[in-house]
């Protein structure tokens, strides 16, 4: 690490250790753990619902709290996976398999500890890598003009489509729908009203919060009748919370591998933390000397995926902070939060708002420590939360959705949009569409349109501007490669890792890895 990076990090810690920032980091971690623990409410819905609560805070405290919810939910998700065989959030699907098997063998405490320690190590390693990688990328991105940004956004969408488990046409169809929704409202360059149908609230466009809360929060509730939610918990024996020596030994390498793999996957657009945990499970099964133990309580089956999903959630901050590019719906909402506070994420963030950038990074070191301290001693409290019957829980979540969405603009139109999006989210699930690219399309629509139109104006309408500039050209070549790879897998109809991921997400336990 360069001396300047260390100096900047010291500045970050001076911000992160302020009592008020520490308080909001703690609050974010606590709420995030609860969000991860509770079925039917994922990190995206949690962050969206609590976004309005941060309006009274400054940008640093707001982003520290919201990010705490994000990575805290990755910790919390393991609790329900291990104790109930229900993933508290999607990235914990793989932990269900061996975590629950360990719990049934009376090793629930050890599984929870391994998951928490793995998450801590991976989270911390992820933050170290983020500290090292993000500033140079941001420096490089200062050379980006509108054509480079246009190419980068196209690449982001194509990567998302390539990584998606639902297939290229379905993902791009959803992204196009999101882009179209993002066109609603006043055109900033000409002042034209687009698709507002004389509803004045639509003049400002459709906000990300009602769409995200509707698709992911309400949509999930509509698809989950209470009779389908199991309330059977395998209670951990707290006396056996510490893993034995053999279990520690078996978890060291999977944690290390999961941390590196997760961070690398996290940088790439897509549902990175979900993909990372799936890939890590596959890798661990492949390198294991006893692959037959997977599915029956293998320690590596808990340590690897849990580490990978935490490292991936940290890795996802690299493109968001350094390039201003959201790689998934969660980072898109976090970006929206920064924008609301007047802090545009991107290459200028490090120089123009160093306190926010470095304070946020430093708070993640502290947050990971807080989560380790929270998750183990308080596991009994979280188990109690799990015993709240779903029939009482989901009405509460709907109420919080309404409060959260209404409070953003004090607009009832936003609440109606949320309800419509909830129904759309339910129908999309039925027809096997992933709503995440829709949210991403909605977020990038204004940036994409502005850079595309600026590029065309700059070149006097010459499309060649995108291939004449070296960085844009390189990005478009990568786009072509990604498209080619997608076409190959479409033509070959191979049952690749994405098909297996889709199967795992659908809850089919057979043939994993």
Partner 1 sequence: MQLRRDHVAGGVMLLAGALVLAASTDLPFGTLASPGAGMLPTVVIVLMSAFAALLLLNAGASPPIGAIAWTDAGHAVRVVGVTAAAVALYIPFGFIASMALLLFVLTFLVEKKPFIYALAFSGGATLSAYLVFGTLLNAPLPRGLWH
**d(C-alpha 392, C-alpha 458), whole Å:** 57
Please answer whether residues 329 and 81 qualify as being in contact, where contact means their C-beta atoms are separated by less than 8 angstroms: no
Residue 32 or 135 having the CB closest to partner 1: 32
Question: Does the protein bind partner 1 through residue 391 (CB under 8 A)?
Answer: yes
**d(C-alpha 69, C-alpha 50), whole Å:** 9
Please answer whether residues 66 and 77 qualify as being in contact, where contact means their C-beta atoms are separated by less than 8 angstroms: no
Question: Does the protein bind partner 1 through residue 416 (CB under 8 A)?
Answer: yes
Residue 304 or 422 having the CB closest to partner 1: 422
Alpha helices (H) in 288-328, listed in sequence order: 300-315, 317-323
State in angstroms the smallest separation of the CB of 263 from partner 1.
Answer: 32
Q: Which residues in 79-118 contact partner 1 (CB under 8 A)?
A: none
Of 11, 180, 252, 385, the residue at the interface with partner 1 (CB under 8 A) is 180
481: left (phi over 0), alpha (psi -120 to 50) or beta: alpha
CA angle 204, 199, 203 (to 5 degrees): 15
Mark residues 17-56: x for contact with partner 1 by CB under 8 A, - for none. -----------------------------------xx--x
CA angle 413, 417, 419 (to 5 degrees): 115
| Distance (Å) of CA 207 to CA 5, 55, 175, 418, 450 | 36, 15, 16, 10, 18
Of 85, 170, 273, 512, the residue at the interface with partner 1 (CB under 8 A) is 170
Question: Does the protein bind partner 1 through residue 477 (CB under 8 A)?
Answer: no
Of 4, 19, 198, 228, the residue at the interface with partner 1 (CB under 8 A) is 228
Question: Does the protein bind partner 1 through residue 431 (CB under 8 A)?
Answer: yes
State in angstroms the smallest separation of the CB of 406 from partner 1.
Answer: 7
Q: Which residues in 189-208 contact partner 1 (CB under 8 A)?
A: 189-190, 192, 194-195
Residue 381 or 458 having the CB closest to partner 1: 458
Of 432, 496, 508, 511, the residue at the interface with partner 1 (CB under 8 A) is 432
Please answer whether residues 240 and 432 qualify as being in contact, where contact means their C-beta atoms are separated by less than 8 angstroms: no
Of 59, 221, 356, 443, the residue at the interface with partner 1 (CB under 8 A) is 221
Token digits of residue 37: 């623990």
Of 7, 187, 352, 496, the residue at the interface with partner 1 (CB under 8 A) is 187
Of 137, 229, 256, 456, the residue at the interface with partner 1 (CB under 8 A) is 456
Dihedral pair phi/psi, residue 194, rounded to 5°: -115, 125
Token digits of residue 226: 């209470």
Question: Does the protein bind partner 1 through residue 412 (CB under 8 A)?
Answer: yes
State in angstroms the smallest separation of the CB of 180 from partner 1.
Answer: 5
State in angstroms the smallest separation of the CB of 426 from partner 1.
Answer: 6
**d(C-alpha 277, C-alpha 307), whole Å:** 8
- Rg of the chain taking only CA atoms, in angstroms: 22
**d(C-alpha 228, C-alpha 232), whole Å:** 12
Token digits of residue 471: 């960085």
CA atoms within a 13 Å half-sphere pointing along the CA-CB vector of 111: 34
Please work out the total of residues on this chain that contact partner 1, with binding judged by CB under 8 A: 61
Residue 52 or 315 having the CB closest to partner 1: 52
Token digits of residue 275: 């993909």
Which positions lie near partner 1, rule CB under 8 A? Answer: 52-53, 56, 169-170, 172-173, 176-177, 179-180, 183, 187, 189-190, 192, 194-195, 218, 221-226, 228, 391-392, 394-396, 398-400, 402-403, 406-407, 410, 412, 415-416, 419, 422-423, 426, 430-433, 445, 448-449, 452-453, 456-457, 460-463
């Amino acid at each position: 690490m360069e001396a300047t990076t260390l100096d900047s990090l010291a500045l970050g810690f001076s911000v992160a250790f302020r009592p008020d920032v520490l308080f909001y980091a703690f609050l974010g971690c606590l709420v995030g753990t609860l969000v991860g623990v509770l079925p039917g409410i994922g990190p995206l819905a949690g962050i969206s619902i609590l976004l309005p609560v941060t309006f009274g805070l400054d940008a640093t405290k707001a982003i520290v709290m919201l990010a705490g919810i994000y990575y805290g939910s990755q910790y919390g998700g393991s609790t329900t996976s291990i104790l109930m065989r229900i993933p508290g959030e999607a990235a914990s699907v793989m932990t269900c398999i061996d975590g629950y098997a360990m719990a049934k063998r009376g090793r629930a405490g050890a599984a929870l500890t391994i998951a928490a320690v793995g998450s801590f190590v991976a989270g911390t390693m992820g933050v170290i890598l983020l500290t090292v990688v993000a500033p140079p990328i941001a420096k490089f991105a200062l050379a980006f003009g509108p054509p480079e940004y246009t190419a980068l956004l196209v690449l982001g969408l194509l990567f998302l489509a390539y990584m998606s488990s639902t297939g290229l046409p379905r993902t791009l169809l959803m992204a196009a729908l999101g882009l179209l929704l993002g066109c609603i409202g006043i055109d900033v360059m000409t002042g034209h009203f687009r698709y507002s149908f004389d509803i004045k609230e639509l003049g400002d466009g459709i906000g990300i919060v009602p769409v995200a809360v509707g698709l992911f929060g309400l949509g999930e509730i509509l698809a989950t009748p209470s009779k389908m939610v199991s309330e059977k918990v395998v209670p951990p024996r707290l006396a056996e919370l510490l893993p034995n020596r053999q279990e520690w030994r078996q978890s060291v390498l999977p944690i290390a591998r999961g941390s590196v793999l997760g961070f690398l996957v996290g940088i790439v657009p897509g549902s990175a933390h979900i993909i990372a945990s799936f890939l890590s499970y596959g890798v661990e099964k492949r390198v294991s000397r006893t692959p037959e133990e997977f599915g029956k309580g293998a320690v590596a089956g808990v340590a690897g995926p849990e580490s990978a999903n935490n490292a991936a959630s940290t890795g996802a901050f690299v493109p968001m902070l350094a390039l201003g590019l959201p790689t998934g719906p969660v980072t898109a909402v976090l970006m929206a939060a920064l924008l609301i506070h007047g802090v545009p994420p991107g290459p200028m963030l490090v120089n123009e708002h160093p306190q926010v950038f470095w304070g946020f990074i430093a708070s993640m070191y502290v947050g990971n420590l807080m989560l380790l301290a929270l998750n183990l001693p308080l596991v009994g409290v979280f188990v109690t939360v799990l015993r709240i019957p779903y029939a009482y829980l989901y009405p509460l979540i709907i109420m919080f959705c309404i409060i959260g969405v209404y409070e953003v603009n004090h607009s009832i139109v936003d609440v109606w949009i949320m309800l419509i999006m909830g129904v759309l989210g339910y129908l999309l699930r039925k027809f096997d569409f992933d709503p995440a690219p829709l949210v991403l399309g909605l977020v990038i629509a204004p940036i994409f349109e502005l850079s595309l139109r600026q590029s065309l104006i700059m070149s006097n309408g010459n499309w060649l501007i995108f291939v004449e500039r070296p960085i844009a050209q390189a990005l478009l070549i990568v786009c072509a490669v990604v498209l080619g790879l997608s076409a190959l897998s479409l033509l070959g109809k191979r049952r690749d890792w994405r098909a297996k991921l889709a199967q795992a997400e659908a809850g089919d336990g057979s043939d994993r890895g």
